[in-house]
Structure 1
């Protein structure tokens, strides 16, 4: 027995669901999941069934034989036109016989004999094949006076009677042409999270909107439209810390020492070319001195470009497993969450995820701690030595933090973030993930404990550095590098805006 999924596109008529269920029962299939919502699409139904491989083949063969099985997502042609009908009994009936024979789905029909055009009927049709459109138009033109208003072959003007076809076309626009099987699977996965969110009281359409907005935002902030907020801090006379706050997702940190460069997190893969151009603008250039990368955790905005760099990548063993399983909730109590699993697949797809090739796993804890956080190794960047602290599994399992008490550095990943420093655009983008997974932390209680422990370290470091003129720089995974002022995070130093389109920077635009 195995678990199989398929999509059915059924007539919007009484008994359709019953007929499909009868076929599944006939071959001893057990329905594990079914989702149909007329508010989204009146003809598309999603199934997951448990059956033997042979039974599943027979089920889908019989569904295909009666036209129920959806095996491809071809963009439909959209045709809108006016036709002038004789004002006599049966005129509309005769016209509709042509559209029915062509297999056209009527999206709009408008006629009023009291209006300004008493003989004009306005019609919008969705059709599966261009050849059918041409044949239908030839038939109609030989019988009626026609005026074509719009003819679209891209699928962009489809209405909600074919919601999932329109959705698939918009996904195509984001990722390029893909195999039909992949699009069908992605469509089913999106439907599954919409079903889950509906069960939690949310509008299912918002799930689809958030998915598409995520992809569109990433595309819209790349290339010449890429930008970043940049901070620089001298750590020693010859060592500099850079923070590059990208348009969407996490920040990239570089520690530039005389003979080597260490990167902490990589940003999304989709931004790689734009990021490399930005590095050239600020001095690191082609990163010829890059010696290693440290990944704080497995979310795509922190490790998604790691595979572009041919250097060792250091990370926690659970981070490596999250990358391998493609599930950001791996190892947590939410590991089976359909929301977490889908979000990981979706964001990695849209963001051009490129996993590390040369992975080096940090060792297990050996007893040393900083407060409540185990110390599991060290990372050197020139004369800067950073302790690697193991997280508790709050934001994700395997998240690590980097700490240098001597130089006042605390890389807090996504556990301590100066949210007030986020631009409106970044905050809006972050809210998409928060909706799709309901919480960006896989364990909120543990995330609070981690935050408390890190802030305690920052306060302790500030006390130790008192009188030196230095402060503990809290380098959150998002937002500005900050310091603690009366318990609140306040951006530190100058923040400059890098604009790829203008190839320059401006001060104080964060």
Structure 2
């Protein structure tokens, strides 16, 4: 880069630019392959950026590069940021110096532009204009979106995943009413219970367990789909008013969103972990943890909830949290029954979100695992490509990714152990994850 004069100082005669306090720092996410850093340096040279330093250390991060340069005026930032948005770079700006208020406004507007360009990848212009109008006419919402983008920029790898999931969630706005679609998985008769499974266009998979005397739901997708889901159930000869209990694995909007609507209209009882209360009240899926991503989770929760319209239960019924027994590393904190068949409530170790639980019926061979043990081949093309699923599973929206990976392995081992025991009786264990299709655990090596 020195040979190509990328680091050449062009504006030494301008005292404003050589003031070390008048500096723009960029943290940018770059693909870890030959030539990407040089290409970005060309972009800086094109916009006459007078580089002070570039730092790239693949030991710290194989994708993150930090660059600092002098800026001549705020408009210089605007043109550079605009082209970075068009080219699809994921970045964060930090500025100190003259015209700070004006410069920060420019940076904020470019963060919004980047967000809308990402949204353009999955919804049409007309829908984007509607979202823009919603954002721009609400000062609080636009500020929250800018703050979300700033926080995600401080944690580029994880922030990029949060950003993509948020965009995917917002696309739900364009998939309601006449645009609503769903995939119905084959209904399975298991003992005296019928298992119904539905996958809406975005959000979590909905499971309905229909017994002889009662019907329950496990999780529910985004609240914005409530009327569509009622219509979907009726089309499939399931009366939504018969669903008297809903059991929630965790209170992300794509799992809990429908529950409050059912409670309000049909007096449905909603069961969830007591840690969910703090998450709901504080609009922060990381509430009660000491994660460094606390603020990022807060803005993410506010935005996803705003656009997907969850209705949380007003009178939630909370699981007991005192361990009754242990299944490997997982405490069994409570039980519930469907027509006399027992389900165990297993408590997560805290990797994904506080208050995460799993539901296990050994008798029926059913294991509801929330956002754990997804069967990747069953996910839709849009989910796989836009959410970059392999990377999502490594960083994801997890409160503690290290614990998440460890308990994911422990959960898989537990499922295989139960499956081996059931195999002796000529049965097997079915995994029912919060996204994608159900599948026998034997499919996982």
Are 1:288 and 2:246 matched, yes or no? no
Separation in 1, partners of 2:82, 2:258: 37
How far 1:337 moved relative to its partner?
3.2
TM-score, normalised via structure 1 length: 0.59
User: Where does residue 230 of structure 1 map in the other structure?
Assistant: 185
Separation in 1, partners of 2:292, 2:317: 24
Which whole-Å deviations, capped at 9, do the CAs of 1:234-271 have from their partners, x for residues lacking one?
Answer: 1223x211121222221111111122111110111112
Are 1:301 and 2:254 matched, yes or no? yes
Are 1:397 and 2:328 matched, yes or no? no
8 Å contact 2:208–2:217 — kept in the other structure? yes
How far 1:343 moved relative to its partner?
1.9
Q: Which runs of 5+ in 1 are unaligned?
A: 1-12, 22-35, 49-62, 74-158, 489-510
How far 1:191 moved relative to its partner?
3.8
8 Å contact 1:259–1:289 — kept in the other structure? no
Separation in 2, partners of 1:461, 1:355: 34
Separation in 2, partners of 1:381, 1:429: 38
Separation in 1, partners of 2:262, 2:231: 15
Which whole-Å deviations, capped at 9, do the CAs of 1:407-434 have from their partners, x for residues lacking one?
Answer: 1111111121111221212223433996
Separation in 1, partners of 2:402, 2:299: 23
How far 1:327 moved relative to its partner?
1.4
User: Which of 233, 237, 244 is matched with 2:198 structurally?
Assistant: 244
User: Where does residue 8 of structure 2 map in the other structure?
Assistant: none
Q: Secondary structure at the match of 2:336?
A: strand
8 Å contact 1:304–1:354 — kept in the other structure? yes
User: Which of 321, 339, 342 is matched with 2:296 structurally?
Assistant: 339
8 Å contact 1:334–1:442 — kept in the other structure? yes
User: Where does residue 330 of structure 2 map in the other structure?
Assistant: 373
8 Å contact 2:170–2:308 — kept in the other structure? no
Separation in 1, partners of 2:308, 2:134: 16
Which portions of structure 1, spanning 4 or more consecutive aligned residues, are displaced by more than 6 angstroms? 13-16, 45-48, 67-70, 159-162, 164-172, 206-209, 432-435
Judged with a 3 Å threshold, the aligned counterparts in structure 2 of structure 1 residues 370 and 212 are, in CA distance, closer, same or farther, namely closer
Are 1:419 and 2:419 matched, yes or no? no
8 Å contact 1:218–1:351 — kept in the other structure? yes
Q: Secondary structure at the match of 1:353?
A: coil
User: Where does residue 272 of structure 1 map in the other structure?
Assistant: 226
Which whole-Å deviations, capped at 9, do the CAs of 1:317-343 have from their partners, x for residues lacking one?
Answer: 112221222112223342653332222
Separation in 1, partners of 2:294, 2:228: 34
Are 1:362 and 2:319 matched, yes or no? yes
8 Å contact 2:207–2:218 — kept in the other structure? yes
Separation in 2, partners of 1:161, 1:424: 27
How far 1:171 moved relative to its partner?
6.7
Q: Secondary structure at the match of 1:378?
A: strand
8 Å contact 1:329–1:335 — kept in the other structure? no
User: Which of 201, 218, 236 is matched with 2:172 structurally?
Assistant: 218
Q: Which has a greater percent of helix?
A: 2
Judged with a 3 Å threshold, the aligned counterparts in structure 2 of structure 1 residues 374 and 215 are, in CA distance, closer, same or farther, namely closer
Judged with a 3 Å threshold, the aligned counterparts in structure 2 of structure 1 residues 375 and 14 are, in CA distance, closer, same or farther, namely farther
Larger gyration radius, structure 1 or structure 2 = 1
Q: Describe how 1:111-122 pairs up with structure 2 within 5 A.
A: none
How far 1:354 moved relative to its partner?
1.6
Are 1:193 and 2:164 matched, yes or no? no
Which whole-Å deviations, capped at 9, do the CAs of 1:97-118 have from their partners, x for residues lacking one?
Answer: xxxxxxxxxxxxxxxxxxxxxx
Separation in 2, partners of 1:396, 1:256: 29
8 Å contact 1:462–1:472 — kept in the other structure? yes
User: Where does residue 77 of structure 1 map in the other structure?
Assistant: none
Q: Secondary structure at the match of 2:312?
A: coil
Separation in 2, partners of 1:441, 1:164: 24
User: Which of 440, 447, 465 is matched with 2:404 structurally?
Assistant: 447
Q: Which runs of 5+ in 2 are unaligned?
A: 1-13, 23-73, 84-91, 120-124
User: Where does residue 261 of structure 1 map in the other structure?
Assistant: 215
Q: Secondary structure at the match of 1:288?
A: helix
8 Å contact 1:415–1:450 — kept in the other structure? no
Which whole-Å deviations, capped at 9, do the CAs of 1:464-508 have from their partners, x for residues lacking one?
Answer: 3225442111111111111122643xxxxxxxxxxxxxxxxxxxx
User: Where does residue 51 of structure 1 map in the other structure?
Assistant: none
User: Where does residue 81 of structure 2 map in the other structure?
Assistant: 40
8 Å contact 1:422–1:480 — kept in the other structure? yes
Q: Which has a greater percent of strand?
A: 1
TM-score, normalised via structure 2 length: 0.67
- Matched pairs, number: 353
